[in-house]
Amino acid sequence: MQLFYTPDIEPTHPQYFLSEEESKHAIRVLRLETGSEVQLIDGKGGFYTAVIHDAHPKRTILNITSVTEGFNKRSHHLHIAVAPTKNIERLEWFLEKATEIGIDEVSLIISQRSERKEAKVDRLSKIITAAIKQSIKAYHPVLNEPVKLSELLSRPFDGQKFMAHCEPGKKLSLRNELILQSRYLILIGPEGDFTPTEIETALQNGFKPITLGESRLRTETAALEACFEVNFLNRI
């Protein structure tokens, strides 16, 4: 299967022109020819089958043969807010794997102990795009610009809100707390964890403290564990 990401495609149009970059990849790299069948995803749930009408290396023309809306749409919505790791490759790893497993939105949060205060969202989004093509997903997760934790905590969210942290105290299990087929926002802190003040503020804003197991996990591992648990529990 040769899959292309085409976010500007219109479901009602019978033809589509691949971008110059994708055209070059299709014709020069993959050696596709006129008559070759390809698949397209628009990042909004659309999955398309098309046939190459004109195999031009700069402007390949496709004839759309079928459209599936809501392709493999999931029963829940998962938003993970995670502090960017000092080693950006660890964050990239999380984004790739979480996209493959299933995630809808990622917010990059800056907290008091964050060692990284910024991240290049454009570059990180390309990693997500590559991952949806690899895993054949028609929905492209949203990646938000870095935001201060205090600002994110004050934003309204219609769903369940959780916070994973390493401070002592009673913590809940997602297995026991999760309302299935719902919306979830989960906070994952930086390498130095959230501060006690940040934890208290989150609790005051309706977040529930959760445990992700007995092991002390790296930031990106904790975020991926939360992603896996939510998706596993929502399997039907």
Confidence of residue 236 (pLDDT cuts 50, 70, 90): low
Burial call 179-201: b when 16+ CB within 10 Å, e when fewer: eeeebbbbbbbbbebbbeebbeb
Determine what percent of the chain is predicted with pLDDT higher than 70: 100
pLDDT of residue 214: 87
Instruction: Annotate the chain with three-state secondary structure.
Output: CCEEECCCCCCCCCEEECCHHHHHHHHHHCCCCCCCEEEEECEECCEEEEEEEECCCCCCEEEEEEEECCCCCCCCEEEEEECCCCCHHHHHHHHHHHHHHCCCEEEEEECCCCCCCCCCHHHHHHHHHHHHHHHCCCECCEEEEEEEHHHHHHCCCCCEEEEECCCCCCCEEHHHHCCCCCEEEEEECCCCCCCHHHHHHHHHCCCEEEECCCCCCCHHHHHHHHHHHHHHHCCC
Percent of residues, the chain, with pLDDT higher than 90: 94
**Average pLDDT over every residue of 180-208:** 96
Summarised one tens digit per residue, pLDDT across range 183-193 is 999 999 999 99
In this structure, are strands 37-41 and 3-5 parallel, antiparallel, or unpaired?
Answer: parallel
The per-residue pLDDT for 42 is: 96
Mean local confidence (pLDDT), 170-190? 95
- Going across the sheet that includes 15-17, the strands are 3-5, 37-41, 47-54, 61-68, 15-17
How many residues can be counted in the chain? 236
Q: Could you read off the pLDDT of 38-77 as tens digits, one per residue? A: 999 999 999 999 999 999 999 999 999 999 999 999 999 9
pLDDT computed for residue 181 by the predictor: 95
Q: What is the mean pLDDT of residues 202-228?
A: 95
pLDDT digits (tens, 9 = 90+) for 104-153: 999 999 999 999 999 999 999 999 999 999 999 999 999 999 999 999 99
pLDDT at 82 over 90: yes
Q: Is the pLDDT of residue 177 over 90?
A: yes
Q: Which domains does the chain have, with CATH numbers?
A: 3-68 (2.40.240.20), 77-233 (3.40.1280.10)
Q: How many CA atoms lie within 13 A of 112 on its CB side?
A: 9
Residue 163 has pLDDT above 80, yes or no: yes
Do the beta carbons of residue 18 and residue 62 sit within 8 Å? Answer: yes
